[in-house]
Structure 1
Amino acid sequence: MSQAAYLVGAAGAGALLVSLGVTYALTLRIRRLRLERERALSRAYEGFARDMHDLVGHWLWLASIRGELAHRRAAGDGPLREDLEEVLRAVRQAAHSVRNLSAAGHRISFPGEVARAKVLIEGFGAYCSVRVDVDELPEAVSTALGAVVREGVTNMLRHSRVKRCAVELVEQGGRLRLTVVNDGAPRRETSAPGSGVGNLRHRLEDLGGTVRASGGKDGWFTLIAELPDNFSE
């Protein structure tokens, strides 16, 4: 083989190797792009599912509360009361299905519950003030305090003729202190907290916290939860 032929063969082999290298690099790049696209789509689907959960859950909860109030007011109308019972059962079943469908990917959070509480309460024509002096909360604390806000708002909308309420989270004396207060509470509700408060008490005890509820003769109802502030570090 002449030197010229050898050089041509070597150049051809080199070109083939370069071509194979480029092809391999492009293949890897395409695979990475596909994986990135799949991850982006997955994140988009998850975000859409969370948004749908919050939106549908919000309106189902509101419909349930409105339905309970209408059911209570229809005590003297038998047929209407029966119709409302059917509506309430359907709404509650739908709400239960939504919760089960997204339970794995949806968690209660304090910021989320405060935002939802303000929308719900103002949707009922009442005024709601919010004060939060704590920047960030660990997930367990955020979940626990979010449950307190949800319970407080649920009770005030179901059992009170609320016109004004306030949600406040501050750090005082080495502890986180959450206060949920509202007016319009009937006296019978101020003397005996329900099972919901008892469930909150167990939840906060696991974090070294406490929760208590009290009502006054003036119709104001107060729900207070406290936790050691070392959870906020």
Structure 2
Amino acid sequence: MSHPAYLAGAAGAGVLLASLGVTLVLLLRLRRLRAERERALTRAYEGFARDMHDIVGHWLWLASIKGELAHRRANGDARLREDLEEVLQAVRQAAHAVRNVSEARHRLSFSGEAARARTLMEGFGAYCSVRVDVDELPEVVSATLGAVVREGVTNMLRHSQVKRCAIELVEHDGRLRLTVVNDGAPRRETHSTGSGVDNLDHRVGELGGTVRAAGGTDGWFTLIAELPGNFSE
């Protein structure tokens, strides 16, 4: 039979090893939680910066666009007062977005941005077609695709002499595909995306998707965002 002192020592050693093991596990878990917290904070800061670009930048740019449109109609056109009021509304929206970014982002939706894009294009005498072959979108997907439409419309008005554009959302090869195209773009083989499309790449990437943009020698510019198709279920 084993000596009682030996058994007691073995038991004590076992308890010590178990305690050390638990301590090591807890330390590793604490380190992992700290790392995850730091990554979460980094993502939050990056997300805030992207929101500020998408929301505030868009509304301020829209204000300048509507101001230009009002200037063109300053020859006594009865719609001048209405256009100037829209400029003021856009500026107010920018100020509100600064105060409450999360609320402004919550209002962002694909359907709302697509409808507003068509109205805005019509105001500049351009034709914009919208085709949607997806029944319903989760809120986060709708907001993300709305940001893509918003950035696409802002870019086409800023960089192109657009006369025709098209917005299309379909399911393709098991994925959602949003395409925003317009004519009147500078004729070039390649296109420098800039910070706006880079921000979209981060936002769409958070949902497992991709964004690509290209301009060609034919004067057409294409912006495509793709997401996993299971989001449409």
Band the TM-score falls in, shorter-chain normalisation: 0.5 to 0.7
Sort the Cα spacing of 1:199 and 1:69 in 2 relative to 1 into closer, same or farther, 3 A. Answer: farther
CA contact (8 A) 1:152 1:180 kept: yes
Equivalences for residues 41-80 of structure 1 within 5 A: 61-67=61-67
1:134 aligned onto 2:138: no
Deviation at 1:206, TM superposition (A): 0.7
CA contact (8 A) 1:64 1:91 kept: no
- Counterpart amino acid of 2:151? E
Residue ranges of structure 1 left out of the alignment (5+ in a row):
1-57, 71-89
SS of residue in 2 equivalent to 1:222: strand
Deviation at 1:64, TM superposition (A): 1.3
SS of residue in 2 equivalent to 1:187: coil
Deviation at 1:186, TM superposition (A): 1.1
Q: Which residue of 2 aligns with 1:183?
A: 183
Q: Which residue of 2 aligns with 1:193?
A: 193
Deviation at 1:62, TM superposition (A): 3.5
TM-score (norm 1): 0.61
CA distance in 1, matches of 2:127, 2:91: 30
CA distance in 2, matches of 1:68, 1:98: 23
Deviation at 1:182, TM superposition (A): 0.1
Post-superposition CA distance 1:170-224 (Å, at most 9, x none): 0010000000000001136952111100000000111000000001101100000
- Counterpart amino acid of 2:167? V
Q: Which residue of 2 aligns with 1:100?
A: 98
Q: Which residue of 1 aligns with 2:77?
A: none
SS of residue in 2 equivalent to 1:185: coil
How many equivalent pairs are there? 159
CA distance in 1, matches of 2:69, 2:175: 37
Percent of pairs with identical residues: 73
Q: Which residue of 2 aligns with 1:47?
A: none
CA distance in 1, matches of 2:216, 2:230: 32
Q: Which residue of 2 aligns with 1:153?
A: 153
Q: Which residue of 2 aligns with 1:112?
A: 112
Larger of the two Rg values belongs to structure: 1
What's the C-alpha RMSD, in Å, of the aligned pairs? 3.0
Sort the Cα spacing of 1:151 and 1:142 in 2 relative to 1 into closer, same or farther, 3 A. Answer: same
CA distance in 1, matches of 2:68, 2:93: 14
Post-superposition CA distance 1:34-91 (Å, at most 9, x none): xxxxxxxxxxxxxxxxxxxxxxxx9965431255799xxxxxxxxxxxxxxxxxxx99
Post-superposition CA distance 1:111-130 (Å, at most 9, x none): 11001111011111000000
CA contact (8 A) 1:181 1:220 kept: yes
Q: Which residue of 2 aligns with 1:29?
A: none
CA distance in 1, matches of 2:137, 2:228: 12
CA distance in 2, matches of 1:218, 1:69: 27
Post-superposition CA distance 1:76-109 (Å, at most 9, x none): xxxxxxxxxxxxxx99864531323554434211
SS of residue in 2 equivalent to 1:224: strand
CA distance in 2, matches of 1:205, 1:221: 21
Range 93-102 or range 219-228, more displaced: 93-102
Residue ranges of structure 2 left out of the alignment (5+ in a row):
1-57, 71-87
